[in-house]
Structure 1
Amino acid sequence: MEMTRLQKYIADCGVASRRKAEELIQQGSVKVNGIVVSEMGIKVSSSDRVEVNGSVIKPESKKVYILLNKPSGYVTTVKDQFRRPTVIDLLKGVDERVFPVGRLDYETTGLLVLTNDGDFTHKMTHPRHEIEKTYQATIAGTPTKDEIHSFESGLEIEDYVTSPAKLKIISTKERTCVIEVTIHEGRNRQVRKMCEAIGHPVLALKRISLGKVTLGNLPEGSWRELTRDEVNSLRNS
């Protein structure tokens, strides 16, 4: 009988990403055969009874891959302790339990992928897999050539230096401009912090592509299934 690490089993059940599953285990929210498990490394099989927060879970037989155009005002989690709207609330008609691949912050809009495929999520979010993420931002003021060079070369933010990035000015107005930013990392509020670091705070932010997958003309708040080619392109990015 095939044995699987508990955090991977939880992810395969569509409950949470593997990283989030590890947090659930550490918090004591997971039981195996009636016993609370709080340490990593345990393996389970399909014959074991696994519960998360009191609910028995089973691996999803059908893998689904969803592209959502996230509106502002939604959190990128399955559940929110403050009872704010979550991106899951927007997935009307999706029967499978899915979870977000990575995050967009509360105010940020645009492309978000959700799935119940734990292996896919692990590959997409692992630091060594540098998938390009492109954003369109409205910022205060207009960056100078020197500021753009600093942005693209790497900025010291908090306790890290950002990896090389791209910044292209799309259009300008008297006090604001629209830029396109491409990064490889996925740190918390990174684009906002990078723009702040060069003196041009973000006023609005939207993710428009992930690897070769683009948002296209999908209306805000709507979702569609990723095509097989899109899923494969993300796997191979």
Structure 2
Amino acid sequence: MSNYDPHVPEGIRLQKVLAQAGVGSRRACEDLIARGKVQVNGRRVTELGTRVDPQTAIIHVRGKRVFLDDSHLTLVLNKPRGVVSTMSDPEGRPCLADFTADWDTRLFHVGRLDTDTEGLLLLTNDGELANRLTHPSWEVPKTYVATVAGQVARGLGRQLQSGVELEDGIVSVDGFTVKGIHGDESLVEIQLHSGKNRVVRRLMEAVGHPVKALVRTRFGTLQLGHMRPGTIKRLDGEPLAALMRMVEL
């Protein structure tokens, strides 16, 4: 249910909030509201007198999330191998906090990569975003590139797509591609939506091809691209909006 009442004096007029967020001029924002292009907390708003609290309101314009201030923070990290996916480590090993000192806010890591795995890892101060991106019901797709032992047989992809039984249930992949075979190793790309612990390593071990090196190259709508290991950047604009639309935020 919506948490605003357009008839109470608290808050700021919606068109002013939208204009301050860079959506357009005050008049253009009023036109968007009048034409039913604006939603506040999941409810379409057409009344120009509507007031909102910029700190709590979730606003969409034409289906795209509008961020009202700089308090929202989502970061993309290319986690290097050897870094633990926690914000601190009692053993003194490199951890995620080593990369986030420039941001003074509590951050949640969105899922985790095991210490020996590198690649795309999200951190955010938005607890609801972190929860949705990791909840199995949203089936967020992930892509990994793995170097595995042995020469992969042609029919392995069909086997993996049909499902492989692990100790905590059957897991299937959404896609499997052999990128190359070099001596007694194969380079493969794996797409799946399971978020189970060390799932790629356990899956490939179960079919006789233990993982030697593993990189996550894609998470949801985001791709690692040319980010170097240890690089971290703030996610904003359309890339952030697309990620949030995927989980209906």
TM-score scaled by length of structure 1: 0.71
Letter in 2 for 1:197: A
Match of 2:127 in 1: 118
Corresponding position of 1:10: none
Of 201, 205, 210, the residue aligned with 1:196 is 205
1:1-237 to structure 2, matched below 5 A, reads 62-237=71-246
Moved more, 184-193 or 93-102: 93-102
Offset from partner CA, 1:164-200 (integer Å, 9 cap, x none): 4311011111111111111101100000011111101
**Is the 2:147–2:185 contact (alpha carbons within 8 Å) kept by the matching residues of 1?**
yes
Alignment-mate amino acid for residue 66 of structure 1: L
What SS class does the counterpart of residue 147 from structure 2 fall into?
A: strand
Aligned to 1:16: none
141-150 or 203-212: which moved more?
Answer: 141-150
Distance in structure 2 (CA, Å) of the matches to 1:88 and 1:191 = 25
Size of the aligned set, in residue pairs, is: 179
| Displacement of 1:136 | 0.6
CA–CA separation in structure 1 for the residues paired with 2:83 and 2:168: 28
**2:217 corresponds to which letter in structure 1?**
I
For the aligned residues, what is the CA RMSD? 1.7
Query: Structure 1 stretches of 5 or more lacking a match?
Result: 3-60
**1:153·1:165 contact (CA, 8 Å) conserved in 2?**
no
Q: Does the 8 Å contact 1:78/1:86 carry over to 2?
A: yes
**Does the 8 A contact of 1:123 with 1:235 survive in 2?**
no
Q: Tell me the CA shift for residue 78 of structure 1.
A: 1.4
**Per the alignment, in what secondary structure is the counterpart of residue 145 of structure 1?**
coil
Larger Rg: 2
Q: Which amino acid aligns with 1:218?
A: M
- Cα separation, 2, equivalents of 1:210 and 1:173: 27
Whole-Å Cα distance in 1 between the matches of residues 226 and 166 of structure 2?
34
Equivalent-residue separation in structure 2 for 1:175 and 1:94 (angstroms): 44
The code of the aligned residue for 2:168 comes to D
Q: 2-side partners of 1:96 and 1:219: how far apart?
A: 24
Deviations 1:7-61 (A, max 9, x none): xxxxxxxxxxxxxxxxxxxxxxxxxxxxxxxxxxxxxxxxxxxxxxxxxxxxxx8
CA distance in 2, matches of 1:97, 1:68: 16
Q: Which runs of 4+ in 1 moved over 6 A?
A: none
Distance across 1 between alignment mates of 2:126 and 2:231? 21
What one-letter code is carried by the residue in structure 2 that aligns with 1:188? N
TM-score with structure 2 setting the length: 0.68
SS in 2 for 1:123: helix
Q: Contact 2:144 / 2:218 at 8 angstroms: preserved in 1? A: yes
Greater displacement, 136-145 / 112-121:
136-145
Query: Are residues 216 and 164 of structure 1, via their aligned partners in 2, closer, same or farther at CA, if it must alter by over 3 Å?
Result: closer
Q: Counterpart of 2:213 in 1: which secondary structure?
A: strand
Partner SS, residue 192 of structure 1: helix
Aligned partners of 1:122 and 1:99: how far apart in 2?
Answer: 9
- How big is the shift at 1:227? 2.4
